[in-house]
């Protein structure tokens, strides 16, 4: 069984399903399709599926032209009788999208890339893993490889997904293969993409790991096998907790320097000249995105079940999530210096994406900043070349259409995201008052 699957993988004839076609799943699906694999994308969102089947991408890192190129790729193995009639083709067979899980009957591998958010009490919300696992369990078959990529707590693959899949009557390592491989995609990164970012892989058994390693090795230059799925799950959580803690450290350093009358940026730049033992992190308005503000809580939740309090995670979370308040106080101070109260003043938030040059506003500190400013009676406007509208707390904001006019009419301009397309000298020239959370001015 293992040899059969390996032969299909190495011959690029294995049919691959990617479940969850978001920031992570779509680039992965495209990477496999571009290597000639027949790829089927499955998503519960019919709007996304329809867009993909029209050849339209909604993920910034995958321009529609790349999907369009797949249209003309060589006709492929997803033969018409292998795909249900409701599955439309975008590309003569190398990439198709569907909402219908029954297509899995024809697939050799299924890679799960569904969201793993937190619930209101900031505990893991694994409902998407459960629902995709339940759907998968109905269609899993002998010889299939299943890989979970969604970031989650150590033990999810073994304790949650494996029993669900085994309810089919099939046994892991004997009838099917199961692995965990954390996604490391860095949206907007022009250098590190799917193909050149090393990929960590842990299997439920040695055979599971070998098959998953073989699959990823077809599209990724370096694979890092580890001994188990909990190990692979923990690797991802260490990576993101490392970032969360170090960002919190530098944010707190900024607060301390502020109190001491020292320029934190000069300190960071000078410290960064040390050729070993120091890694540069920069202070800012807080943390955002689907990873750093959320993933560490998956780990601390798991540790709570073992009666252990993950203190670094808790402290880093407190410091980072308090940064929007710190910066709003800076706006209040700056306006005060200019003889104005925040209430009634117009504040222009420049950039609302959680980091530069991307369009993702999930967990962006800009959302908290806008909310805090509005709660204090400010007239808040925003401008972001990547984010045309911003829906938050049942309210939809629209990006200011004329940047120059918006700069000129603001009592205070708050730089929140340092998009490369901004002309900073012009911002400095036009703004009456600036609070710069990114040190671009």
Ligand X SMILES: NC(=O)c1ccc[n+]([C@@H]2O[C@H](COP(=O)([O-])OP(=O)(O)OC[C@H]3O[C@@H](n4cnc5c(N)ncnc54)[C@H](O)[C@@H]3O)[C@@H](O)[C@H]2O)c1
3-class secondary structure, 109: strand
C-beta closer to ligand X: residue 94 or 98: 98
Q: Six-digit token pair at 166?
A: 């085994």
Q: Cβ contacts of residue 318 below 8 Å, gap of 6+?
A: none
C-beta closer to ligand X: residue 52 or 331: 52
Q: Cβ contacts of residue 139 below 8 Å, gap of 6+?
A: 101, 102, 104, 105
Count CA atoms closer than 13 A to 351's CA, side-chain side. 27
Residue by residue, DSSP assigns 11-54 as TT---EEEE--STTHHHHHHHHHHTT--EEEE-S-HHHHHHHHT
Residue closest to ligand X when measured from CB atoms: 22
CB of 133 to ligand X, least distance (A): 8
Residues found near ligand X in the complex (CB under 6 A): 19-25, 42-45, 48, 113-116, 128, 131-132, 150-151, 183, 185, 187, 289-291
- φ, ψ (nearest 5 deg) of residue 47: -65, -45
Q: Cβ contacts of residue 271 below 8 Å, gap of 6+?
A: 278, 280
Question: Which residues have a catalytic role annotated?
Answer: 291
CB of 107 to ligand X, least distance (A): 14
CB of 440 to ligand X, least distance (A): 23
Q: Cβ contacts of residue 242 below 8 Å, gap of 6+?
A: none
CB of 245 to ligand X, least distance (A): 18
C-beta closer to ligand X: residue 30 or 407: 30
**What is the spatial order of strands in the sheet that 39-42 belongs to?**
88-89, 95-98, 39-42, 16-19, 109-112, 145-148, 177-180, 199-203, 223-226
CB of 322 to ligand X, least distance (A): 23
Q: Cβ contacts of residue 218 below 8 Å, gap of 6+?
A: 9, 10, 12, 32, 35, 37
Number of other residues whose CB lies within 10 A of the CB of residue 241: 22
C-beta closer to ligand X: residue 100 or 322: 100
CB of 267 to ligand X, least distance (A): 29
Q: Cβ contacts of residue 267 below 8 Å, gap of 6+?
A: 253, 257
C-beta closer to ligand X: residue 132 or 300: 132
């Amino acid at each position: 069984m293992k040899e059969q699957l390996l032969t299909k993988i190495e011959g690029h004839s294995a049919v691959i399903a990617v479940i969850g076609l978001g920031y992570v799943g779509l680039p992965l699906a495209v990477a496999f399709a571009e290597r000639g694999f027949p790829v089927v994308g499955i998503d519960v969102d019919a709007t996304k599926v329809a867009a993909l089947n029209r050849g339209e991408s909604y993920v910034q890192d995958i321009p529609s032209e790349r999907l369009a190129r797949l249209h003309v790729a060589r006709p492929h193995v997803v033969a018409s009788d292998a795909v249900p009639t409701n599955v439309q083709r975008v590309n003569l067979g190398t990439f198709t999208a569907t909402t219908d899980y029954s297509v899995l009957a024809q697939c050799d591998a299924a890679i799960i890339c569904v969201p793993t958010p937190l619930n209101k009490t900031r505990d893991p919300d694994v409902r998407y893993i459960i629902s995709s696992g339940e759907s998968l369990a109905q269609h899993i078959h002998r010889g299939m490889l299943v890989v979970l990529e969604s970031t989650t707590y150590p033990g999810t693959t073994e304790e949650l997904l494996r029993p669900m899949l085994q309810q089919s009557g099939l046994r892991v390592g004997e009838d099917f293969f199961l692995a965990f491989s954390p996604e490391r995609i860095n949206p907007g990164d022009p250098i590190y993409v799917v193909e050149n970012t090393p990929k960590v892989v842990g299997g439920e058994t040695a055979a599971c790991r070998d098959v998953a390693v073989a699959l990823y090795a077809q599209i990724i230059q370096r694979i890092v096998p580890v001994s188990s799925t909990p190990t692979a799950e923990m690797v991802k959580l260490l990576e993101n907790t490392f970032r969360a803690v170090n960002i919190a450290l530098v944010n707190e350093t900024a607060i301390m320097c502020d109190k001491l009358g020292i320029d934190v940026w000069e300190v960071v730049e000078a410290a960064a000249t040390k050729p070993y033992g120091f890694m540069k992190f920069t202070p800012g308005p807080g943390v955002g995105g689907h990873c750093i503000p959320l993933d560490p809580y998956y780990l601390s939740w798991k540790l709570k079940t073992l009666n252990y309090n993950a203190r670094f995670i808790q402290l880093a979370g407190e410091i980072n999530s308090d940064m929007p308040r710190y910066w709003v106080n800076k706006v209040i101070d700056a306006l005060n210096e200019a003889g104005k109260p925040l209430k009634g003043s117009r504040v222009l938030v420049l950039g609302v994406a959680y980091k530069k040059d991307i369009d993702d506003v999930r967990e962006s500190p800009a959302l908290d900043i806008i909310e805090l400013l509005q709660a204090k009676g400010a007239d808040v406007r925003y401008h972001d070349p990547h984010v045309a509208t911003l829906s938050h707390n049942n309210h939809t904001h629209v990006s200011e259409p004329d940047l120059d006019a918006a700069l000129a009419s603001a009592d205070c301009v708050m730089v929140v995201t340092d998009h490369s397309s901004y002309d900073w000298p012009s911002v400095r020239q036009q703004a009456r008052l600036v609070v710069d959370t990114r040190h671009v001015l």
